[in-house]
Amino acid sequence: MTRMSCRAIVVLTLGWLGTASAFAQGNAQSASALSARLSPATRAQLERLVDSARASGLPAEPLVARAAEGVLKGADEARIVGAVRSLARELAAARAVLPAGASAATLAAGAGALRAGVSRETLRRLSVASIGAAEGDLALALVTVADMAANQVPPTRAGEAVEQLLQRRAPASEIMAFRETVARDILAGVSPVDALDARSRTILGRPAAGATIPPIP
């Protein structure tokens, strides 16, 4: 066996492994859904968009998924194409500012943050704060800031708070708990800015007035 064909075996096997992934399974379904429901013209446009994104090194799955989402939600075809185009732009913009070699998940999280109104500067600062942090921490930070921005917390302020958590190497659970409590407070009627401020310092619970402490075990 030549070295060349040995490498071919590796590639083929990896390819097969790849299709075992849930996301790729989703893609296979997306592809058939798209073929069935979209006009040939739209299909061609989408293929061009996805191919050119792939050619510039951007992940294709989020784009295909966005189109499939549009189909399910009954959007008209022009809107679907527009949405995929916007996402491709946002992925590229995220890649320009996030660390080289960022995973597809991190790029997608970055694109989501940009869409939510988070500035590139904030993305850059979060990237810097995540240097040396665990895999996935930056993506989590981006998802967190995007969520807060979607809840009307001023994006820069949200970014600063999450940046501090990253710098302190807060565990993922703490970042997630921080997001949850801010979101819950906003839902309870606290203004987004106040909710962020109150939770930035601590995530303590408070007892009800007049509560007694049970016997110490």
Partner 1 sequence: MREVTAASFAGYNSAVMTDVELVRAVLAGDSAAFAMLLDRHAASCLRYAARMLGSREDAEDVTQEAFVRAHGALSRFDGSVAFRTWLMTILINRCRTAMDSRRRREGRVFADEGVVALASVRSGFDEAVLRDAIERALVRLEPALREAFLLKHVEELSYEEMSGITGAGVSALKMRVQRACDRLQGLLEDDRND
Partner 2 sequence: MIDNGGGAADGMVAARVLRAARTLRDTPVAPSDAWRREVLEVIERGTSGAPASTSAATPARPWWSMHPVLAVAAGLFCMLIGAAAALGVRPAADSGGAAASAADGAPVNVRFTFTAPAATNVVLVGDFNGWSASTHQLRRAADGRTWEVQVPLMPGRYAYSFVVDGAFVLDPAAPRAADDDFGSPNSIVMVRGT
Nearest-approach distance from CB 170 to partner 2, in angstroms: 7
Name which position in 135, 191, 194, 203 contacts partner 2 (CB under 8 A): 135
What would the x/- binding string for partner 1 be over residues 160 to 179, using CB under 8 A? Answer: -------xx-xxxxx-xx--
Phi and psi at residue 58, in whole multiples of 5°?
-90, 155
Residue 128 contacts partner 1 per CB under 8 A: no
DSSP 207: P
Residue with tokens 């799955």: 61
Nearer to partner 1, 91 or 186 (CB): 186
Select from 36-44, 70-78, 119-127, 192-200 the region that touches partner 2 (CB under 8 A).
Answer: 70-78
> How far apart (Å, rounded) are the C-alpha atoms in residues 184 and 182?
5
Select from 18-26, 49-57, 113-121, 206-214 the region that touches partner 1 (CB under 8 A).
Answer: 206-214
- What is the C-alpha radius of gyration for the chain, rounded to an integer number of angstroms? 22
CA proximity to 125, closest of 92, 97, 94, 89: 97
Residue 83 contacts partner 2 per CB under 8 A: yes
Residue 103 contacts partner 2 per CB under 8 A: yes
Nearest-approach distance from CB 3 to partner 1, in angstroms: 37
Nearest-approach distance from CB 208 to partner 1, in angstroms: 7
Residue 189 contacts partner 1 per CB under 8 A: no
The pair of structure tokens assigned to 211 is: 């509560």
210: alpha, beta or left? (left if phi > 0; alpha if psi -120 to 50): left
From partner 1, partner 2, none, which one binds at residue 66 (CB under 5 to 8 Å depending on kind)? partner 2
For 145, counting Cβ atoms within 10 Å of its Cβ (0-12 exposed, 13-18 middle, 19+ buried), the class is buried
